[in-house]
């Protein structure tokens, strides 16, 4: 079996799941071809994945399927080689649905928070002794290491999976129970988003809690939220989270309710979440340099950006937000929402740096760019600048005269170089601590 584009976290997750099921897995990645040593490629290689050039040579006799994500173009050499050889090309969610078939599956869907809730639920179930198999859209810090990607845990017959709505692939699953965290316009407008989630709910065999459920279990929870985490009471138990932001309290409650459906008590969930260290690139502290904190976050739509800013801004003397749009279409469709989300930084105290749109190739309409958002923000009183590349980000930060107590928040999806930027954006002029 060949699977392509390993640097995409969803693809690396399904690859590891296939390995765990005893399948032979190979694949290709354009970053591997260009000589960029992304950590995930080395981790997958050590796990048993064979890497080939992305020129079709990996699609060999005996290949059962070429597995792709929605981001893979029809003209990709591996896809063309599969077509020429009569090898089926299947979406990654189809393979994952096959792997889950016949097992007890808990699915986490929603516009925002899916990866965090999936990771929290998996950690709770592990700590409760239920030995779950977890397939997540992002690495869990508790499982992440130099040798392990951390977005998959191979366990028993109870599975927890992240179900993605962006390409409607969540409709390939028939979970035992599910949670829909929330709904907002992202890949679709709000009306279409609701239709997708309502269709997903009809495929859930048991309970589907959350955004479509109307359950009031979030009512009456008054969290104490600080820079280093939060504390709250729920059903007579005290919860302490090391994750900042009120949105993570909501994520925790979704995970607790989902795990309760699997037989885990609220007390067990509280004990487990006290040791949960978070999700890669979800308000992850990437560096602390001379008292300045650099935070890395996957935020790429207005709701996620607003949540990240709300979690960081109140505790930063001055905040510089660095953001890279992850596509031309999303930037165009979300322009109003993005302007409103970043608008909270108006007044001149804080600053926004906008990188160019991440261009993955293909036939995208490139008639809009980061300058369109910058114009909106400037008109609203936000100190904003467009920067050409990572070097320009570092130069702009040097010129921003940041001091102890200030923060840099690096945000964006798809671009695999953003975590490295977050770790190094203050290098060269300050002392790392």
- Which CATH architecture is the domain 102-273 placed in? 3-Layer(aba) Sandwich (3.40)
Neighbours of 134 (CB within 10 A): 26
Closest CA to 348 of 384, 383, 396, 312: 383
What was the pLDDT predicted at 235?
Answer: 92
Rg (CA), the chain: 21
334: tokens are: 């979300």
Gap between the Cα atoms of 206 and 209, Å rounded: 10
What was the pLDDT predicted at 250?
Answer: 93
Closest CA to 5 of 43, 60, 62, 52: 52
Number of H helices, E strands in the chain: 15, 20
Average pLDDT over residues 44-50: 92
Burial class (CB in 10 A: 0-12, 13-18, 19+), 194: middle
Residues of the chain with pLDDT > 90, as a percent, come to: 75
Gap between the Cα atoms of 358 and 236, Å rounded: 46
Q: pLDDT tens digits for 289-345?
A: 999 999 999 999 998 999 999 999 999 999 999 999 999 989 999 999 999 999 999
Q: Which residues of the chain are in CATH 3.90.190.20 domains?
A: 284-424
Neighbours of 385 (CB within 10 A): 16
Q: Which residues of the chain are in CATH 3.40.50.720 domains?
A: 2-92
The mean predicted confidence, pLDDT, of the chain is 91
Average pLDDT over residues 207-224: 80
Q: Would the pLDDT of 59 be above 60?
A: yes
What was the pLDDT predicted at 35?
Answer: 83
Q: Would the pLDDT of 281 be above 70?
A: yes
CB 122 within 8 A of CB 136: yes
201: tokens are: 């709910």
Superfamily covering domain 284-424: Mur ligase, C-terminal domain (3.90.190.20)
**Which of 36-50, 62-76, 86-100, 257-271 is most confident?**
257-271
CB 295 within 8 A of CB 331: no
Burial class (CB in 10 A: 0-12, 13-18, 19+), 417: middle
Instruction: Kindly report the pTM of this predicted structure.
Output: 0.89
267: tokens are: 């007390």
What was the pLDDT predicted at 37?
Answer: 75
Fold of the domain spanning 2-92 = Rossmann fold (3.40.50)
Q: Which residues of the chain are in CATH 3.40.1190.10 domains?
A: 102-273
Find the farthest-apart pair of alpha carbons in the chain and give their distance in angstroms, rounded: 62
Q: pLDDT tens digits for 125-183?
A: 999 999 999 999 899 999 999 889 999 999 999 999 999 887 788 999 999 999 999 88
What was the pLDDT predicted at 433?
Answer: 44
């Amino acid at each position: 079996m060949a699977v392509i584009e390993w640097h995409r976290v969803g693809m690396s997750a399904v690859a590891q799941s296939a390995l765990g099921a005893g399948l032979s897995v190979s694949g290709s990645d354009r970053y591997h071809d260009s000589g960029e040593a992304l950590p995930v490629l080395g981790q997958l290689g050590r796990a048993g994945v064979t890497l080939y050039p992305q020129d079709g040579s990996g699609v060999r006799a005996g290949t059962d399927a070429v597995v792709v994500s929605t981001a893979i173009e029809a003209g990709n050499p591996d896809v063309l080689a599969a077509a020429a050889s009569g090898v089926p090309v299947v979406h990654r969610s189809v393979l994952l649905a096959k792997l889950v078939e016949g097992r007890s599956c808990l699915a986490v869907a929603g516009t925002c928070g899916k990866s965090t809730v999936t990771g929290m639920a998996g950690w709770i179930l592990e700590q409760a002794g239920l030995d779950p198999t977890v397939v997540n859209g992002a690495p869990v810090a508790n499982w992440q290491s130099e040798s392990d990607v951390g977005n998959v845990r191979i366990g028993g017959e109870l599975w927890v999976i992240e179900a993605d709505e962006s390409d409607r692939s969540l409709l390939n699953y028939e979970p035992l129970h599910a949670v829909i965290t929330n709904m907002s316009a992202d890949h679709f407008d709000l009306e279409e988003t609701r239709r997708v989630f309502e269709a997903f709910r009809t495929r859930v065999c048991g309970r589907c809690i959350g955004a479509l459920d109307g359950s009031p279990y979030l009512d009456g929870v008054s969290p104490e939220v600080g820079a280093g985490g939060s504390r709250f009471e729920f059903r007579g138990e005290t919860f302490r989270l090391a994750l900042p932001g009120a949105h993570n309290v909501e994520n925790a409650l979704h995970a607790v309710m989902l795990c309760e459906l699997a037989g885990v008590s609220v007390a067990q969930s509280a004990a487990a979440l006290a040791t949960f260290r978070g999700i890669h690139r979800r308000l992850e502290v990437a560096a602390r340099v001379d008292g300045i904190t650099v935070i890395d976050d996957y935020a790429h739509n207005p709701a996620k950006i607003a949540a990240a800013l709300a979690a960081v801004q109140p505790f930063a003397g001055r905040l510089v937000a660095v953001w890279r749009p992850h596509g031309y279409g999303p930037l165009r469709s979300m322009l109003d929402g993005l302007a409103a989300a970043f608008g909270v930084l108006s007044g001149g105290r804080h600053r926004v740096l906008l990188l160019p749109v991440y261009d993955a190739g293909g036939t995208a309409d490139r008639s809009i760019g980061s300058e369109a958002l910058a114009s909106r923000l400037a008109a609203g009183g936000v100190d904003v600048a467009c920067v050409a590349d990572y070097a320009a980000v570092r130069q702009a930060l040097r010129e921003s005269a940041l001091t102890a107590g200030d923060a840099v928040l690096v945000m964006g999806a798809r671009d695999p170089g953003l975590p490295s930027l977050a770790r190094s954006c203050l290098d060269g002029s300050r002392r790392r601590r």
